[in-house]
Structure 1
Amino acid sequence: MTLTASYEHCRRLHARHGRSYYLATRLLPRWKRRHVHALYGFARYADELVDSFTAADPSGALDALADDVEAGLAGARAGGPVLPAFLHTVQAFGIDHDDIRLFLASMRADLSVTRYETYDDLLGYMAGSAVAIGTMMLPVLEPLPGREASAREPARQLGLAFQLTNFLRDVGEDYVRGRVYLPLEDMDKFGVSPDELGARRTSPALRELLAFEAGRARDHYRAAAPGIGMLVASSRPCLRAAFDLYGGILDEIERRGFEVLEERVRVPRLHRAALFARQLLASAEAGRAELRVSMELS
């Protein structure tokens, strides 16, 4: 697997499984896109190992991946379809190795932990999954000089917002996999049993619970919003589009009255296209502005 082929493999994984964020990534400068694909591809690859119902030993496969990552971080030549691109991106941007280890620890939790008692417990899990991916993405998206530290918390909040949105959308699919990401404490408060998540229709009590969790997601989106302005101009249209696309999933869930069990909620294609087009002009102008600066400096 050459480095070029590894980046292309990651791009294809991103295009197939992360359609909303892949669309937003097209608003980035071309040179940045492959690095975002590499980070997504690594995350997706690890997730597929954990969710595999055909692998004889998912735990062993995850152990092998973690060992290969550690060897690669220490300078060994990487093999496999995603690690060459991933480790190249990690090295190029000085991505924090602890974030990588935290992410793999959360993937391991999915092999044994199927319930979370409180929201704080769930936050602990999300800190190593989507949050860690968000903080790994941050160097690629380039905070403005002097804003590197302050941009980290909004990046964490955006990871929480995105993942909680996914949990609300996928609550039925997760139940089929044997996992419940809605806090048991909240389920008990609203009188919802785990078995209700496997039904074909959403009960009134479950609708109230999902509305409560959607309010939490909205809080995370609000906390994340200031972080967009902390990035260089050429990265902002991508984040605004991703923010609106994932927020659009939450809007659609609410519009459907939290009926999420019958079919997967999706943002209508025309609406996705309109959100993308809204940021396209801003992306082009930011790119031209950076090119002018480059020409002036040369």
Structure 2
Amino acid sequence: MTRQEAYRQCEEVMKKGSLTFYRAFSLLSKPDRQAVAAVYTFCRTLDDAVDESAYPEESLTAFLAEFDRFLAGNDPDGALWIALRDVWQRYDMDVEPFFELAEGMKWDLHKTRYATLEETEQYGYYAASTVGLMLLPILVPDANMEARQQLKQGAIDLGIAMQLTNILRDIGEDLDRDRIYVPRTLLAQHAMSETDLFERKVTPQFVKVWETMATRAETLYRSARETHHLYPVTSRKPVQAAALLYEGILDAARSNDHDVFTKRAYVSTLQKGKLLARL
């Protein structure tokens, strides 16, 4: 398989897995866009090893063994590893967030309830902030150390905001898997229980719980935006676009009257165009 064919397959994975992500990063130059697609494919494959496998622990272990082989220079077969090897050669990649993402996948194997919002946000770091940290060497190859540290914090904030958005959008789907990422303390604060959540009713109490988490996500989106000017012009708009399109999911859920049990909140093509026009 040629390198370009490997990248083409990775871009298809990204397009199929997240149109929002694909649309935002299509604004990059072709080499950078391809690199983002390779990293996305790594993340998607790792996630699928847990969520789509009949034997998730074994699948996760096998995938991480392949990654260890890759890091040792013994590339496994497949488009992902061909594309990722090229990324490794072209950018100064940091391996730590790749393993931290795997830690988040391990949480999904053994943890189905969260006590506090801080604990949920820690999961958000592992599940999403790590992706932003993976992409920094691609998006900001020549940042000075001070700017890089500020951008790291911005990437962390944006990742947690995006994961909170995912959680709020997918409450119904997660209940089907017996997973509740909404923290128990927040439910109790608004006189709700897990049993109430499983009834899948949009009550005034549920709306208060949902909006408390949404407000926290919006605060983190604002914090992340304060660092966007530090990105090079070539990658600034894709990052801004990703943030805008993801944050738009919150308003889409509100437009559905907070019904995240029977409706899936998404930003329409028309609304995506309007949001991107703001850039």
User: What TM-score, normalized to structure 1?
Assistant: 0.87
Shift of 1:78: 2.6
Within-5 A mapping of 1:16-95: 16-52=16-52, 55-95=53-93
3-state SS in 2 of match to 1:110 = helix
Q: Paired residue for 1:267? A: 267
1:113-152 matches, within 5 Å, as 113-142=111-140, 145-146=143-144, 147-152=147-152
Q: CA deviation at 1:25?
A: 1.1
- The Cα shift of 1:6 comes to 2.6
Aligned residue number for residue 216 of structure 1: 216
Question: Could you tell me which residue of structure 2 aligns to residue 100 of structure 1?
Answer: 98
- Between Structure 1 and Structure 2, how many residues are aligned? 277
SS at match of 1:129: helix
Q: Does 1:253 align with 2:253?
A: yes
Residues in 2 aligned to 1:170 and 1:142: alpha-carbon distance in whole angstroms: 31
- In 2, are the aligned partners of 1:176 and 1:198 still within 8 Å (CA)? no
SS in 1 for 2:227: helix
CA displacement at 1:275 relative to structure 2: 2.5
RMSD across aligned positions (CA): 1.7
Q: Is the 8 A contact 2:92 2:141 kept in 1?
A: no
Q: Which amino acid aligns with 2:250?
A: L
Native 8 Å contact 1:186 1:209 kept in 2: yes
Partners of 2:41 and 2:103 in 1: how far apart?
17
Q: Give 2:121's aligned amino acid.
A: L
Alignment-derived partner of residue 186 in structure 1: 186
Moved over 6 A (4+): none
Deviates more, 1:193-202 or 1:89-98: 193-202
Aligned residue type for 2:95: H
Q: Deviations over 1:10-64 (max 9, x none)?
A: 2111101111111011111122101111111111111111111xx3421111001
1:110 aligns with: 108
Give the letter for the 2:221 counterpart: Y
Q: Distance in 2 between matches of 1:143 and 1:90?
A: 13
Partner Cα distance (2:85, 2:67) in 1: 8
Whole-Å separation in 2 of the counterparts to 1:67 and 1:24: 31
Give distance in 2, aligned partners of 1:150 and 1:211: 28
Distance 1:26 1:71, change over 3 A: same
Amino acid of the residue matched to residue 84 of structure 1? Answer: I
Deviations 1:153-176 (A, max 9, x none): 001111111111111011111111
1:143·1:232 contact (CA, 8 Å) conserved in 2? no
Contact 2:98-2:130 at 8 Å conserved across structures: yes
Provide the secondary structure at the position in 1 that maps to 2:74.
coil
SS class of match (1:180): coil
Which residue pairs with 1:295 in the alignment?
A: none
CA separation in 2, counterparts of 1:124 and 1:197?
22
Judged with a 3 Å threshold, the aligned counterparts in structure 2 of structure 1 residues 9 and 197 are, in CA distance, closer, same or farther, namely: farther
- Classify the secondary structure of the residue corresponding to 2:226: helix
Further displaced range: 108-117 or 86-95: 86-95
Quick one: which amino acid aligns to residue 58 of structure 1? P
Structure 1 segment 230-241 matched on structure 2, within 5 A:
230-241=230-241
State the Cα distance separating 1:217 from its structure 2 match.
0.3
Residue in 1 aligned with 2:172? 172
Match of 1:44, as an amino acid? Answer: R
- State the partner residue of 1:156: 156
Distance in 1 separating the partners of 2:64 and 2:33: 25
Q: Is the deviation greater in 105-114 or in 70-79? A: 70-79
Change (3 A) 1:91 1:125: farther
Alignment correspondent of 1:283: none
Gaps of 5+ in 2: none
The alignment's TM-score, normalised by the length of structure 2, stands at 0.93
CA distance in 1, matches of 2:209, 2:247: 19
3-state SS in 2 of match to 1:257 = coil
- What is the aligned-residue identity percentage? 32
